[in-house]
């Protein structure tokens, strides 16, 4: 059911086919989109212009969102969930970062200048953690019941809600929701690629790109 707070519909600027059927994570390394799929147990490097798959990495850990720390892919995975560090050249798992207390709540991650931002469900919160130690630095109780991906864009935290079919923009200093828009389909992984905000549309099996200003101009939460 779509939330009544979301009055604006975000127009899609770009759309690419996903290489598999259970869309989870999405991130950007400065040149390529990286996308993870739980059923395929793979992470794909994707050309953002053509949609061509440039590389496939086997990864049985995939469960939710994906990030990039400048050297390694950071995949939300395992039971209980943690951050699994993956070499983007070889697919080798080079380490783990525990998110304590251990649980299945973690659904979205992205690195920003302040540290690693996360979204968790049950209850829905957005957290900032120190990336080296994963120590909790900040936490905001926020809107929605099914958070489904997170990124950092234009100085704001953007996270999705699967059931409400919305993206929400959150101020990193106050936790205030400054914009909410409905999107086609149901969002899972999210990333900011410098020009567009990309999200995984789970039922359509597409990667879709929006203008960031569309989200920020949406109705505040």
**Mean pLDDT (whole number) for 173-197:** 96
- Helix (H), strand (E), coil (C) string for 8-63: EECCCCEEEECCCCCEEEEEECCCCEEEEECCCCEEEEECCCCCCEEEEEECCCEE
Domain ranges of the chain: 8-216
194 pLDDT more than 70: yes
- Helix (H), strand (E), coil (C) string for 114-132: CEEEEEECCCCEEEEECCC
DSSP 8-state class, residue 217: T
Confidence class for position 32, pLDDT limits 50, 70, 90: very high
Are the CB atoms for 202 and 189 separated by under 8 Å? no
Whole-number pLDDT of residue 4: 41
Whole-number pLDDT of residue 79: 95
Whole-number pLDDT of residue 8: 52
Confidence class for position 166, pLDDT limits 50, 70, 90: very high
Q: Which CATH class is domain 8-216?
A: mainly beta
**Mean pLDDT (whole number) for 193-211:** 97
What are 34-92's pLDDT values in tens digits?
999 999 999 999 999 999 999 999 999 999 999 999 999 999 999 999 999 999 999 99
Q: What is the overall mean pLDDT for the chain?
A: 95
For 209, the enclosing helix (H) or strand (E) is strand 206-210
Give the predicted TM-score (pTM) of the model.
0.94
Confidence class for position 103, pLDDT limits 50, 70, 90: very high
**Mean pLDDT (whole number) for 111-124:** 97
CA distance 202 to 150: 15
Structure tokens at 187: 């969002």
146 pLDDT more than 80: yes
Task: Judge residue 38's burial from the number of C-beta atoms within 10 Å of its C-beta, 0-12 exposed, 13-18 middle, 19 or more buried.
Answer: buried
Three-state secondary structure call for residue 213: helix
């Amino acid at each position: 059911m779509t939330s009544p707070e979301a009055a604006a519909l975000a127009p899609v600027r770009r759309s690419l086919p996903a290489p598999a059927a259970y869309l989870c994570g999405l991130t950007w390394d400065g040149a390529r989109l990286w996308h993870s799929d739980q059923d395929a147990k793979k992470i794909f490097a994707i050309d953002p212009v053509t949609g061509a798959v440039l590389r496939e990495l086997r990864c049985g850990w995939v469960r939710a969102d994906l990030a990039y720390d400048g050297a390694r892919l950071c995949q939300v995975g395992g039971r209980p969930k943690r951050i699994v560090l993956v070499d983007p050249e070889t697919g080798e798992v080079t380490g783990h970062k525990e998110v304590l207390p251990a649980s299945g709540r973690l659904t979205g991650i992205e690195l920003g200048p302040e540290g690693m931002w996360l979204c968790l469900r049950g209850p829905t919160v957005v957290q900032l953690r120190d990336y080296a130690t994963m120590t909790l630095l900040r936490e905001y109780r926020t809107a929605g019941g099914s958070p489904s991906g997170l990124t950092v864009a234009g100085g704001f935290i953007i996270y999705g809600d699967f059931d409400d079919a919305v993206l929400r923009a959150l101020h990193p200093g106050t936790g205030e929701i400054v914009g909410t828009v409905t999107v086609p389909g149901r969002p899972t992984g999210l990333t900011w690629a410098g020009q567009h905000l990309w999200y995984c549309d789970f039922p359509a099996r597409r990667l879709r790109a929006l203008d960031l200003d569309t989200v920020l101009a949406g109705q505040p939460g």
